[in-house]
Chain A
Amino acid sequence: MPQYLIAIQHPEDYDPSLEGEAMIRDIAALNEEMDAAGARFFAGGLESARHARSLRKQPGGGVSITDGPYLEAKEHVGGFWILDCADLDEALAWGRKAVVACRVPVEVRAFLRIRPKRESPGRGGSA
């Protein structure tokens, strides 16, 4: 079954501790509903983007590590669900519920389904 990512978009300075009780209840109910429908594979709320670390490949080789999110944007992914859905329409139907429960925009994306390439019978040996 295809899997979809539903990512919640939060403003940069979003503070989860200020979430209202009604909203927390709505999100908990949505989680329950996804689970009961056999759709939820994984879900997580993210620590705010301020606490992110970013790793950048340096032109001359090596990796630089900085505090803060990678993208310089006003909003960041604040949490997500990974759902097993029959198709994109079903993922979008869950996405609608996520928008309503979380009171913020969400982004829905399908996971790429790349299968390993078939090895031709004669091949093999050195990689």
Chain B
Amino acid sequence: MSGVHETIEAVWRIEATRLIAAIARVVRDVGLAEELAQEALVTALEVWPEEGIPDRPGAWLMTAAKRRAIDALRRGRMLERKHVELGLELERQQERLGDALDHALDEVIDDDVLRLVFTACHPVLPVEGRIALTLRLIGGLTTAEIARAFLVPEKTLGQRISRAKKTLAEAHVPFETPRGDELNRRVESVLTVVYIIFNEGYTATAGEEWMRTALSEEALRLGRILRRLLPGESEVHALIALMELQASRSAARRGPDGEAVLLPDQDRSLWDRAQIQRGFAALERAQRLGGGARPYALQASIAACHMRARTAEETDWGRIVLLYDALLQVLPSPVVALNRAVAVGMAWGPAAGLDELDAATALAGESATASYHLFPSVRGDFLRKLGRLSEARDEIRRALAMTKNLRERELLEKRLRQWEKATPSA
């Protein structure tokens, strides 16, 4: 049986978002709402181990938060932030605030959670601040959990969150859902945050962990929350599709000793069929909503092409090249161009792939590609297939100098060893 603290943390995880959204609805300040909710949690951690978990933990936490809010009002914490009409005498203000908070939890609607999402992912914040706030406010994760997931000290993460909240307050970011063109841009920012969280879990950028499943799963959960909030937004469905399809390969991405296994070498019977079905269904939804040519939908379509092939040899590389062509139109980037070159190499041979890759590198400029190890790694692969072994090995050595990820390094080193043993023969 888990301890009472784990129980409370779990209760918190499922209550936190609505609680913070409800408080923010009244005080119109996400940072303050989060602080009040946290203070309520601290009270719960003191009281619940003695008195047991209440029947309606959300309502209990709200009552605790209300006391803190009135306290804060009395001490002037809210006046300085100009949340309450200055004309009213304090007692009347307290009463009004208390009433509003009493009802807030009953009234909290999806729109409030959506406002919370948009605020957490506001472009005024640096990306790392958006990620931390999103996991904290919508994911209900503790600072310690987020710090662990991103391999940074808890203190650093705590500072990141308080800086983000301060920035929001100073920029007077309103607690609202953007409209019109602004909405599209802001949805994009939200999706980017979710996808970064997913990828951070899926391929750790540094350290020993090849996968931090918890983060990927959290991103998937965030995706499902967004789907409910923005059901007509095709790219939300497309991002879910992309994440489901990538995550469905998790079990196949590690060999028996934890080493990385790349797509063509994966045992496809280890792919999670149920998750693939979920991914296909989400992609179909995105396409039905008319978003088939948008960036996440195209990336999901490419993933779907891989998932449909029963063996690596069956992969429809010609179609993948076409999808990358379309993706380059809407999302021109050196990485997309690199992936397109890989697809070209698979479809029409290493010489064609090498030409595409060199053209992409020239177009992007050395500086844009100099920090990404897959450029030399892919180039090395093409060269080896063309029998130019010593050039191939040089490229792999260049790639090795560029990546810190242990699993990727192992993969590159293994390749280098194999190629050193091989005799040059075309």
* Chain A residues engaging chain B, CB cutoff 8 angstroms: 1, 33, 35-39, 84, 86-90, 92-94, 96-97, 100, 115-116, 118-119
Contacts and interface: CB of A to CB of B under 8 A. Distances in A.
A92 B221 contact: no
A116 B6 CA distance: 32
Which of B10, B218, B220, B270 has most A Cβ within 10 Å? B10
B254 to A, nearest CB: 11
B14 interface: yes
Given A37-B225, A90-B10, A115-B270, A96 B53 contact: yes
Contacts of B55: 100
Which of A37, A84, A87 has most B Cβ within 10 Å? A37
Interface string B11-53: 1011001100000000000000000000000000000000001
B277 interface: no
A33 B18 CA distance: 9
Contacts of A87: 10
A92 B10 contact: yes
A88 B222 contact: no
A92 B7 contact: yes
A110 to B, nearest CB: 13
B2 interface: yes
Q: 9 shortest A-B CB distances, which residue pairs? A: A89-B10, A38-B224, A1-B217, A93-B10, A38-B221, A38-B225, A90-B10, A93-B11, A89-B6
B154 interface: no
Nearest to A34: B14
A81 B53 CA distance: 22
Contacts of A35: 228
Nearest to B109: A36
A90 B13 contact: yes
Contact of A1 (B220, B225, B267): B220
17 contacts: A33-B18, A36-B18, A37-B17, A38-B222, A38-B224, A84-B217, A84-B221, A84-B224, A90-B13, A90-B14, A92-B10, A93-B11, A100-B56, A115-B270, A118-B267, A118-B270, A119-B269
A93 B7 contact: yes
Interface residues of B, number: 31
Given A93-B13, A119-B267, 15 more contacts: A36-B225, A37-B17, A37-B225, A38-B222, A38-B223, A39-B14, A86-B217, A89-B10, A92-B10, A93-B11, A94-B14, A96-B53, A96-B57, A97-B14, A119-B269
A82 to B, nearest CB: 11
B411 interface: no
Which of A35, A38, A84, A100 has most B Cβ within 10 Å? A38
A30 B220 CA distance: 21
B113 interface: yes
Contact of A86 (B18, B214, B228): B214
A38 B11 contact: no
B412 interface: no
Nearest to A32: B110
Contacts of A1: 217, 220-221
Nearest to B53: A96
Interface in B179-220: 214, 217-218, 220
A125 B56 CA distance: 58
Contact of B113 (A36, A90, A94, A119): A36
A38 B140 CA distance: 12
Which of A35, A89, A100 has most B Cβ within 10 Å? A89
Contacts of A118: 256, 267, 270
B37 to A, nearest CB: 15
Nearest to A94: B14
Contacts of B221: 1, 37-39, 84
A108 B11 CA distance: 15
Contacts of B53: 96
B251 interface: yes
Nearest to A29: B106
A63 B245 CA distance: 40
Contacts of B214: 86
Interface in B223-273: 223-225, 228, 251, 256, 267, 269-270
A38 B139 CA distance: 10
Nearest to B247: A1
A36 B10 contact: no
B9 interface: yes
Contacts of B7: 89, 92-93
A116 B270 contact: yes
Contacts of A37: 14, 17, 221, 225
